[in-house]
Structure 1
Amino acid sequence: MSIPTSTSVVESAVIEAPLSHVWHHIKLQNFSDFWSALKSSQFVKGTSDDTDVVQWIFNDGSEVEVKQEEHSTINHYITYSVITAKPELTYTSVLSTIRCYAITSGELEGSAFVEWTGNFSSDADAGVIQDAKFKRRDALADLAKAALKK
């Protein structure tokens, strides 16, 4: 019997670097430049001009193709979905969004707040959600390191 679980995950971090230094890294094809879990990230050849599909190859050998669904350089967010995976996913779908906000006042003025959500299909189990949570936490920590190098 499976354990009922939320099918969404939200992880966030304050990165003590300007928004422009953080947002600069939020391009699907460049995730391997900051995310230590990825061996490579690159555009998939042969996709149509109006579709951005990027292949992420993880250090453990797993591969996913992610499709950019939405992108706003004005509002600083990107939404993507996983369209293929090797090995196959144990769930039907996931839609993820990364949003970045400038912190404009207070002790952390000049920093950035980053939120990375994932909304999974109802067949995702607790293990999938936990894995997504920790992958996002690790990636946000890696993003902070990369943004601070600027």
Structure 2
Amino acid sequence: MDLNIPCATHVRESTVVHGKLDKVWSLVRGMKFAWNPDVMGAECEATPGVGSTVTYSYADGTKQTVQIVELSDLVHFVTYQVVESRPAISYSSALFKIQLYEVTTADQVFVEWTTDFSNDASAAVIGDSRYKKHEGFKALATYLLETA
């Protein structure tokens, strides 16, 4: 077996937040990431749907355009990919997915956020992805508590 065959890297992080599924889904589905303090702005070309794009401006000056490739109001997930980044990203591609699950015994939502990176993503990129997901979860939880 050849152990030098490159393979993609899958990053999966999850959390539970307090709130109703419909409210959390409206925040995620809108693709504005208004709950994330690192996102300074989000320009949607139209109502988010498959094929539409959103351009984000981040606090560090980065600008990225993502395209929605899957969206389900039935099972509450959105999948998107970066199509443009300034400055350029250091890897070939990444596919992101955020999926929500209702916790049926409480007003809580299980949030799963995954990324499938191309095989040229470095360990630093993978670590940064995990860190940003954790920070995003904290920001989402705080936002939900403050707007309850």
Normalised to the residue count of structure 2, the TM-score between the two structures is: 0.87
* Runs of 4+ in structure 1 over 4 Å off: none
User: What residue is the counterpart of 1:141 in the other structure?
Assistant: 138
**Is the 1:22–1:144 contact (alpha carbons within 8 Å) kept by the matching residues of 2?**
no
Q: Contact (CA 8 Å) 1:8, 1:120: kept in 2 or not?
A: yes
Q: What letter is aligned with 2:21? A: L
Q: Secondary structure of 1:51's match? A: coil
Alpha-carbon offset, residue 5 of structure 1: 9.2
RMSD: 2.0
CA displacement at 1:50 relative to structure 2: 6.5
Q: Which residue of 1 aligns with 2:70?
A: 70
Distance 2:45 2:57 in 1: 12
Structure 1 residues 131 and 110, CA gap change in structure 2 (3 angstroms): same
Q: Is the 8 A contact 1:5 1:125 kept in 2?
A: no
What is the alpha-carbon distance in structure 1 between the residues aligned to residue 70 and residue 8 of structure 2? 24
Change in 2 beyond 3 A, CA 1:50/1:102: closer
SS at match of 2:32: helix
Amino acid paired to 1:145: T
What residue in structure 1 maps to residue 3 of structure 2? none
| Aligned match of 2:42 | 41
| 1:17 corresponds to | 19
1:147, CA displacement in angstroms?
A: 2.2
Specify whether residues 71 and 50 from structure 1 end up closer, same or farther in structure 2 by C-alpha distance, changes over 3 A only.
closer
Q: Report if aligned partners of 2:8, 2:118 keep a CA contact under 8 Å in 1.
A: no
User: Given the superposition, is the C-alpha separation of residues 29 and 99 from structure 1 closer, same or farther in structure 2, using an over 3 Å criterion?
Assistant: closer
Q: Unaligned 5+ residue runs, structure 1?
A: none
- Cα 1:113–1:123 shift into 2, 3 Å: same
Give, in whole Å, the separation in 2 of the partners of 1:28 and 1:22: 10
Structure 2 unaligned segments of length 5 or more: list them: 1-5
- The share of aligned pairs that are identical, in percent, is 31
Q: More relative contact order in 1 or in 2 (CA 8 Å, sep 6+)?
A: 1
